[in-house]
């Protein structure tokens, strides 16, 4: 699992590469949960995430809850069809705003 974090204007862009599973989810949590500050805007680029287990879903849900509690926003971008299906079936897509790519995700966060 590779995690790259950069800031574009006031938006934290998190690029994830690799599977998010029971082994890697703690590392992802450790890196992204501290980004949840008051009014934070976080974009999670999952273009290079081929697989996500339930541990990964829990990590994303924790990110969502912490961000919402602090009046922030989270947008997920680049979800593969398989990840979209998994998140839809489990009801996780009901929580998240999604976009097709980083550029459109940034536009969504600026609204």
Predicted local distance difference test score (pLDDT) of residue 47:
97
Residue range 43-50: average pLDDT? 97
Burial 44-80 (b: 16+ CB within 10 A, else e): bbbeebeebbebbbebbebbbebbeeeebbbbbbbbe
Domains and CATH numbers, the chain: 2-110 (3.30.750.24)
**pTM score:** 0.94
Say if residue 80's pLDDT is above 90: yes
Percent of the chain with pLDDT over 70: 100
Asked if residue 111 has pLDDT above 90, the reply is no
Q: Which residues contact 70 (CB under 8 A, 6 or more apart)?
A: 36, 37, 38, 39, 40
Q: How confident is the model at residue 41 (pLDDT cuts 50, 70, 90)?
A: very high
Q: Distance (Å, rounded) from C-alpha 96 to C-alpha 26? A: 21
């Amino acid at each position: 699992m590779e995690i790259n974090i950069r800031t574009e204007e006031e938006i934290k862009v998190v690029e994830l590469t690799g599977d998010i599973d029971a082994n890697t989810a703690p590392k992802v949590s450790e890196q992204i949960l501290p980004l949840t500050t008051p009014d934070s805007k976080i974009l999670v680029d999952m273009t290079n995430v081929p697989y996500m287990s339930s541990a990964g879903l829990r990590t994303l849900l924790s990110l969502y809850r912490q961000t919402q509690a602090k009046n922030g926003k989270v947008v997920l971008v680049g979800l593969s069809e398989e990840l979209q299906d998994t998140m839809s079936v489990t009801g996780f897509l009901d929580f998240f705003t999604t976009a097709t790519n980083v550029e459109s995700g940034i536009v969504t966060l600026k609204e």
